[in-house]
Chains A and B, each alone.
Chain A
Amino acid sequence: MNLLGSLFSSSLGRKFLMAATGLVLFGFVTGHLLGNLQVFLPPEKINAYGHMLESLGAGLWLIRLFLLACVVIHVWLAIQLTLENRAARPQDYGVTHTNRATLASRVMARTGLVVLAFILFHLAHFTVRIGHPQWSEHTFTLLNGTKVRDIHTMMVQGFSNVGVSVFYIIAVGLLSYHLAHGIVSMLQTLGLKNEKWTLGLERFAVAYCWGYFLLNAAIPVAVLGGLVKLHA
Chain B
Amino acid sequence: MVAPTTKKLFSVTLRVWRQAGPAQPGHFVDYPAANVNPDMSFLELLDVVNDGITKDGGEPIAFAHDCREGICGTCSCTINGKPHGPGQGIATCQLYMRSFADGDTIVVEPFRARAFPIQKDLVTDRSAFDQIQQAGGFISVRTGAAPDANSIPVPKEDADLAMDAAACIGCGACVAACKNASAMLFVAAKVSHLGLMPQGQPERDKRVFAMVQTMDAAGFGNCTNQYECSAVCPKTITHDFIARLNRDYLGALFRAKFKPVSNAAGGGGS
Contacts and interface: CB of A to CB of B under 8 A. Distances in A.
A12 B212 contact: yes
B246 A16 contact: yes
A193 interface: yes
B112 interface: yes
Contact of B215 (A11, A101, A105, A185): A11
A137 interface: no
A89 B81 contact: no
A193 B225 CA distance: 11
Interface in A160-217: 181, 184-185, 188-195
B216 A194 contact: no
B154 interface: no
B14 interface: no
| B112, B228, B253: residue with the most chain A Cβ atoms closer than 10 Å | B253
B150 to A, nearest CB: 29
B243 A185 contact: no
A88 B180 contact: yes
Contacts of A99: 82, 177, 227-228, 231-232
B31 interface: no
Contacts of B182: 11, 85, 88
B144 to A, nearest CB: 32
Contacts of A13: 253
A89 B213 contact: no
- Interface SS, B side: mixed
Interface size class of B (residues with CB under 8 A): 35 or more
Contacts of B112: 89, 91-93
Interface string B227-243: 11001100000111011
Nearest to B176: A93
Interface stretch (A2-10, A44-52, A57-65): A2-10
B6 to A, nearest CB: 33
Contacts of A194: 240, 243
Given A89-B221, A99-B177, A184-B225, A94 B209 contact: no
Contact of B225 (A12, A84, A188): A188
Contacts of B225: 105, 181, 184-185, 188-189
A127 B231 CA distance: 46
Contact of B107 (A12, A94, A191): A94
11 contacts: A7-B253, A16-B250, A85-B181, A85-B221, A88-B181, A93-B112, A184-B225, A185-B224, A189-B223, A191-B243, A195-B238
Interface of A: 1, 3, 6-7, 10-16, 81, 84-85, 87-102, 105-106, 108, 181, 184-185, 188-195
Given A10-B216, A95-B78, A99-B232, 4 more contacts: A11-B223, A101-B179, A101-B226, A101-B227
